[in-house]
A and B are shown apart, each in its own frame.
Chain A
Amino acid sequence: MVFAVDLTFYAALMLYVAAAVAMGLYLRRGDVLLTGFASRFVLAGGLLLSVTFALRWVMWGRLPLTTMADGLNLFIIMATAIVLYMSNRHQGVDRALLCFYTPPLVLLYAVNAVLAFGDLHREPKALNGAFLAVHVGLAVLAYALFFVASVTSIAYVFQARSLKRLHTVGLFQKLPSLEQLDRTLYHLIAFGYVFFAITLVLGLIWAYIAADELSARWWLSAKIVRAFFMVALYSTAFHGRRMGRLRGQKLAYLVFVGFAVMLGGYLALGLLNLQDYNFWSAHR
């Protein structure tokens, strides 16, 4: 079983790398067949990683969500599903977006493979009930939406800057319109924000119920502070866009920088092994 976990994990990594290479070639050669290959590689990679996740679940008899590797695995699976949905709309004309989506996915996967590989052989700690599983699952889904939003924001800035600088050849011609990217960005932020807000409310309810198990200042832990920062940031982005105050490149920059800070914080807390970085340890 351990071998199968390793095999599916690394095979999936290879497929993501192959997808990124296919998109790189597509940028050079413009052959649309390559985008089809890339899309299939990403799909196969996502499915294989889901098998890794399922194997870990079967192996230990509990949902593997409490290690950094498991968290990132679920995150990549969800991000993959969103990316595939986004890049296959409109009869696949949005597939050029994979040029933006695949490299960060590969990067995240590589970070996971290098830094958290040991976790794959470790027993995941048990979550304190199904309530927390929903809390964690929704949080990861929200992170995945924010991740895809941040990459979409790069695509938006790329398109907007190309238009301003009259550089309207190559990738520019293959990407969706600015208006479509803006709308996509808005929807991603909106869904991410709503899911994250629900996650936060669920977390607060759980903290209230399990108050005895938590320290008096649990809300000052790095993880909770980061969560509140994220809510504030995406609330600004969502409401700003909804009211039309934040739109275009400004919104794109905010979303991108916000996610970069959030991801940096997550990895830093995880790598430095600071208390409360993991999902299970909040109730220590």
Chain B
Amino acid sequence: MSVVVVGLSHNTSPVELRERLHFPESQLPAAVLKLRKHLNDAGVVILSTCNRVEVYASTAGPPNGAFTDIRGFLSEWHNLPEEEFASALYEHANRDAVGHLFRVASSLDSMVVGEGQILGQVHDAYLASQAEQGTDKIISALFQRAFSVAKDVRSRSNISAGKVSVGSVAVDLAVSIFMDLAGKTVMVIGSGKMGELTLKNLVSRGASQVLLVNRTREKAELLAERLHGEAVALEALPEHLHRADIVITSTGAREYLLTPAIFERALKRRANAPIFVIDIAVPRNVHPAVNSLDNVYLYDIDSLQQVADNNLDARRKEIARCLEIVEAGVTQFWQWHQGLIAEPTIVSMAEELHAIRERELEKTLAALPDLSEKQRDEVAYMSKRIVNTILQRPMTQLKREVVREDPHIVLHLVKRLFGLREVP
């Protein structure tokens, strides 16, 4: 049995090509059924996201045949000549295919390394295939192992720590300052799009009160109505600053609106409770010296970008360690998979020995006609125990040896030793 993957991703193809090979969710069931026909009822999973399209399969034949079949399926399904996408495809078989899936599920192959979305997408793809009876024993075990490796990678490394987009960094920092955003007051100064987006992020995390400050009272009231907040006129800003736990400024003002003196007064009125200030205006609205005040944490657009870059760098540094975890998972899965090769031989060996046992048991019982029913059962049970005990070690050892040595030589030798028929 081979495990194969054929696909393309953001690393190998432009978005235009990925779009053309994309499988919409509604078409997945039909695609799974058709793909199975192409691959003689093999176990399959189609993973289709905005950054990748991949087909996983476990086939009885050699990998090359499966690669050709999958390419043919993609071409036929999308009505696209193979030459138009073949150069962007990657094709992996067996250990390499397993390693690829584990890296994808662990978000090590993602555009934003460590992002959490891909694991859910892999899970959905697996469930979609399972719903169409498109999975088999190997594909199921492969994907279950991929989920467990991905969870291991996340919990045993820092790969998913820290946000890497400016918008989410602001929320992440707010959570690092405040225990819980529930009940926190956010003040938005100005009406910039980014300020509004950050506010929405904060509100979605629980921030409940919103103060909207604008140059004119009317404009502030309009905004307040739209964003379900309280309007505050710009000239009244110093009087209301102490009410805010989080301040977002994005006005076009040419001079600083908030100075250390204003913050000092606000801090006094709020018993020195911390204030998180996000100044996304250019030029800046908050005097940089504000950051030197105890309990005020000021971030401008460059600082937020720097935090995002630092987080991304830190994630990249974790990749090597994550790959070790992935590699250990691949080895474990591959040992299990290789062990499957020995299964038919083991079954055949057990059948052969039990057939001998039954023949000999029959002869023995015929020679001892005086035995009671209970005694006959006891003798039969003993013979079974002996054969099972004899089989135990060779079975375990055989599963190990087919992984270590050439499985064909090992299995051939065992068949010769026990006089077994050739098994498929």
Contacts and interface: CB of A to CB of B under 8 A. Distances in A.
B289 interface: no
A33 B152 CA distance: 10
Given A164-B297, A167-B310, A168-B310, A243 B271 contact: yes
B179 A166 contact: no
How large, as a class, is the contact surface on chain A? 20 to 34
Contacts of A1: none
A188 to B, nearest CB: 16
B358 interface: no
B274 A179 contact: yes
Given A32-B155, A177-B175, A248-B294, A169 B161 contact: yes
B161 A30 contact: yes
B161 A247 contact: no
A62 interface: no
A180 interface: yes
Interface in A232-259: 243-250
Contacts of A29: 156-157, 321
B176 A163 contact: yes
A170 interface: yes
B310 A166 contact: yes
B306 interface: yes
Contact of B177 (A32, A173, A177): A177
A248 B274 contact: yes
B383 interface: no
Contacts of B259: none
Interface string B278-322: 000000000000010011010100010011001101100010010
B310 A247 contact: no
Nearest to B306: A166
Given A164-B291, A178-B274, A159 B176 contact: yes
B175 A31 contact: no
B157 A31 contact: yes
Contacts of A30: 156-158, 161, 318, 321
A191 to B, nearest CB: 19
Given A167-B310, A170-B158, A244-B272, A250 B294 contact: yes
B131 interface: no
B156 A169 contact: no
B272 A247 contact: yes
A183 interface: yes
B407 interface: no
Given A247-B273, A248-B272, A163 B177 contact: yes
Interface residues of B, number: 32
A172 interface: yes
B148 to A, nearest CB: 14
Contacts of A244: 270-273
A33 B153 CA distance: 12
Contacts of A173: 158, 161-162, 176
B156 A247 contact: no
B173 interface: yes
A265 interface: no
A256 to B, nearest CB: 15
A176 interface: yes
Contacts of B162: 168-169, 173
Contact of A32 (B156, B173, B318): B156
B256 interface: no
Given A168-B162, A168-B173, A244-B271, A177 B157 contact: no
Nearest to B158: A30
B77 interface: no
Contacts of A182: 274
Given A168-B311, A170-B314, A248-B294, A180 B179 contact: yes
A170 B314 CA distance: 8
A130 B2 CA distance: 77
B359 to A, nearest CB: 54
Nearest to B270: A244
Contacts of A249: 294-295
B85 to A, nearest CB: 39
Output the residue of B177, B178, B270, B306 with the most chain A CB within 10 A.
B177
A115 B176 CA distance: 41
B161 A179 contact: no
Which of A33, A159, A247 has its CB near the most chain B CB atoms (within 10 A)? A247
Given A30-B161, A244-B272, A247-B295, A177 B178 contact: yes
Contacts of A167: 310
Contacts of B173: 163, 168
Interface in A170-207: 170, 172-174, 176-180, 182-183
Nearest to B318: A30
A177 B178 CA distance: 6
Nearest to B177: A178
Given A30-B156, A32-B155, A248-B294, A169 B314 contact: yes
A182 B179 CA distance: 10
Nearest to A178: B177
Given A168-B162, A172-B176, A33 B156 contact: yes
A84 to B, nearest CB: 21
Nearest to B154: A32
A169 B159 CA distance: 11
Contacts of B155: 31-33
A169 B158 CA distance: 9
Contact of A248 (B179, B295, B307): B295
A176 B177 CA distance: 9
18 contacts: A29-B321, A30-B157, A31-B157, A32-B156, A33-B156, A163-B176, A164-B297, A166-B299, A166-B306, A168-B176, A173-B176, A177-B175, A244-B272, A246-B272, A247-B271, A247-B294, A247-B295, A249-B294
Interface of B: 155-158, 161-162, 172-173, 175-179, 270-274, 291, 294-295, 297, 299, 303, 306-307, 310-311, 313-314, 318, 321
The 5 closest A-B CB pairs, nearest first, are A244-B271, A247-B272, A30-B158, A169-B314, A31-B156
Interface of A: 29-33, 159, 163-164, 166-170, 172-174, 176-180, 182-183, 243-250
